[in-house]
Every structure is written in C-alpha cells, then in structure tokens.
Amino acid sequence: MAHLTFERAIALLEYDCLTGIFRWRVDHNKMKAGDIAGGFGAGGYWMIGVDGGRYYGHRLAWLIMAGEWPSGKVDHKDTDRTNNVWENLRPATSSQNLMNSVIKSTNKSGFKGVSWAAHCSKWQAHIRIDGRSTYLGLYENPADAHAAYAAASREFHGEYGRVA
C-alpha cells in the first residue's frame, strides 16, 4: 500500500476547516460524492479509509491544509479526538501532547497533578517536566496542591498545559 499523497487526498476528499468534516469529492468504494467520509475508529478518533489505508482525520486535515504530512503529533487543543476543526489542531511533540491530557479516571483527588501521600497524611503535587516526574511539595488540602501544579504547568508547559 502506497502512502497517501497530498495530490491524491485533495482529489478524493473535501475538508471543511470550519467544521472539521470530510466529504468525498468523488464516488469512492460504496460511498457517493458528497457523503461524509470516515467514522469513529481507534481510540475514539475520526478515521477515514482511503485506497486500502486507514488514516486519522486530524492527520489528514494537516495534510490537506499544510500540503504535507505532519512531522510529529497533531494535538487537539480541546482534547476532543473527533473535533478536527483546523483552529483546534496544532503541531506537538509527544511530550506536549501529553501535557494537554485530561485528568486520569483513576485520579482520586479530583485535581490533576495531585495525589494522597499516605506516609505523611498530606496531599502531594507533582508534574512531568522533560519526561521526568518533578515533586512540587506536600499540602494540607488538595486545592493548595493543585495550585502548585497549575503554577508549574503555566511555567513549564505553556500553551500546551492543561490543569483540569
């Protein structure tokens, strides 16, 4: 299977950068010109099958808008894996993509970057910087620990930092 080229992508697909929706320009397999292209796939991402290959919608949007495949990750600013509106997409490293993640479902504190330190009966804050966990201190309540995390996120993660 050959890798999908920019030329082939724009010949087959129309991408609406304001809605993030893809439509077929031509009849393709069982789809008719004008039909919405793709559907939900791996991990909740929008996927589109083209010429025997399956492609992520956000990466196809990048190909169509930038004229080339992204060199790294493409991050959804709002963390909605199906929102492929052009303004919601940005280039990111793997690390930056993780910075923009939402709070884990296993989190028991209710705050990103905060966990219970049973050995001292306090809340602790921690953040990942350059792939390493960095300890931010112990606190009496989870809100104070989260404030420390949020400040560190603004400083070290910048626009990619997500605190909730």
Q: Positive or negative, the Cα torsion across 158, 73, 134, 141? A: positive
Percent of the chain with pLDDT over 70: 99
**Domain span at residue 28?**
6-92
Residue 92 is predicted with a pLDDT of 96
Q: Residue 88: its pLDDT value, please?
A: 98
Give the C-alpha separation, 15 to 60, whole Å. 9
Q: Tell me whether residue 15 is in a domain.
A: yes
The string of DSSP codes covering 75-137 is: EETT--TT---GGGEEEE-HHHHHHTPPPPTT-SSSSTTEEEETTTTEEEEEEEETTEEEEEE
Domain with residue 86: its CATH number is 3.90.75.20
User: Residue 164: pLDDT above 90?
Assistant: no
Q: Are residues 88 and 125 in the same domain?
A: no
Compute the mean pLDDT over every residue in the chain, rounded to the nearest whole number: 94
Query: Is residue 120 domain-resident?
Result: yes
Domain limit, last residue, from 92, 118, 151: 92
Q: Of 92, 127, 142, which residue is a domain's last?
A: 92
pLDDT at 150 over 90: yes
Largest CA distance in the chain: 65
Residue 1 falls within a domain, yes or no? no
Q: For residue 147, give the CATH number of its domain.
A: 3.30.730.10
pLDDT tens-digit profile of 9-66? 999 999 999 999 999 999 988 899 999 999 999 799 999 999 999 999 999 999 999 9
| Averaged pLDDT, 117-138 | 94
